[in-house]
Structure 1
Amino acid sequence: MGDKVLETRAAAVIAANKYMTLATVDGDGLAWATPVYFTPDGHTDFYWVSSPATKHSVNVAEHPAVSIVIFDSSVAIGHAEAVYLTADAGLVPDDELERSAAFYASRYPELKAFTPDELRGDGIFRLYRARATAHWILIRGRDPEYGTGTDSRLPIWS
C-alpha cells in the first residue's frame, strides 16, 4: 500500500511492545501460538531466544512458515492497535550469531547478553529470526480516517 500514515502507526506498535504472539504448526497440522519476547530489526526481522526443545521451536524446525501478531493487550476495549505478519522463521546461522546476538540484547539493558557460544552446540538456547514476507495493520471500525464500521486489516510495506 505504501501509506506513510499506516506505516508510521505500525512501526509505533512494533517499537512499543516487548512480546509478539508467534503462531506455528506441527507435523500433524495442529496450530500452536506462544508469546515470545522479541527484538525487532525495523519491520523485516524479528529475533527471539528459545530452547530448541520447546514446541514452537520444534514446529519452526519442521515448518518455517509462521504468523505473528504484535499488540498491546493492556489497552481498553475498542482501542487496540496491532500488526500482523507472515514470515519465514529459523535459527540464526552460526556466521551471523555474533552480530545478531549483540543486536538482540541491545534493545533493553535487562536482557541477557548471550554469547554466540551459548546459542549453539550444547547450549540450551538458540537465537531465532523471523523474516517477514507480508504485513498488515489493524484498522479499527471507528478509525476516523480508515474505518469502515468493522475492524479490518490493511496491507503495509508491500
Structure 2
Amino acid sequence: MRELVEVSRYLVLSTADAAGRPWGSPVYFAHVDCVEFLWVSSPDVTHSRNIAVRPEVGLVVFDSHAAIGTGQGVYMPAVAEALDGDDAAQGIEVFSRRCVAHGGAPWTAEDVRTGGEFRLYRAVAQSHGILAKDGSADHRIPVDLSQGRG
C-alpha cells in the first residue's frame, strides 16, 4: 500500500456539497506517512467549496496504467480542511519538496496564504483499505499502518 501511494502522483478526491451532490477531482498530492494528504487548489473550485461546507471526503490512490483486471487501489475515508498559519507553512514545505522532485516549481507559504489565489488543503485519512485479489468483486481489506509496512 505504501509503495502505491509513494509512486502515485495523483489521487481522486471525492467531495459532496451541502445537498449531498458528489464531485470527484484528481489532484496532485504529497503525503506524510500515508496518513496526511496535501494538495494545492483554488478556494473557488468545486471541491474546495464542498470541503468548506462538508469536510468529510473520500480519497483513492491507484495506478491508472495497470492492465485491466490487475489494478490496485488504496481507499481512504478522510476529513479535509484548508490550512492556515504554521500548519500551512509546514505543510507547504512537504508539498513543495515532492513537487520539485517530480519536476514542478517550488511552493512557499506566501503562495498559499489566506485570501490568495491558492490554498493548501490537508485530508487526514481515518482508515485505509486495499482491493483484495481473491476473485471476489470489490472485496476490500483493511490496512493497519501501525503494524509496519502497509
Unaligned runs of 5+ in 1: 1-9, 141-146
Q: Distance in 1 between matches of 2:50 and 2:116?
A: 19
C-alpha contact 1:101 1:113 (8 A) present in aligned 2: no
Q: Does 1:99 align with 2:86?
A: no
Structure 1 equivalent of residue 121 of structure 2: 128
Bigger radius of gyration, 1 or 2?
1
Q: Does 1:25 align with 2:16?
A: yes
Structure 1 equivalent of residue 56 of structure 2: 65
The offset of 1:149, in angstroms, is: 4.0
Q: CA RMSD in A?
A: 1.4
Q: Stretches of 4+ moved more than 3 A in 1? A: 148-151
Identity, % of aligned positions:
36
Structure 1 equivalent of residue 142 of structure 2: 155
Q: Indicate which of 104, 120, 130 corresponds to 1:137.
A: 130
Aligned length, in residue pairs: 143
1:119 counterpart letter in structure 2: V
1:136 is paired with a residue of what secondary structure? Answer: strand
- TM-score by structure 2 length? 0.89
Unaligned runs of 5+ in 2: 146-150
Q: Distance in 2 between matches of 1:38 and 1:157?
A: 22
C-alpha contact 2:129 2:140 (8 A) present in aligned 1: yes
Q: Deviations over 1:55-95 (max 9, x none)?
A: 00000011000001100111110110110000000012312
The offset of 1:54, in angstroms, is: 0.3
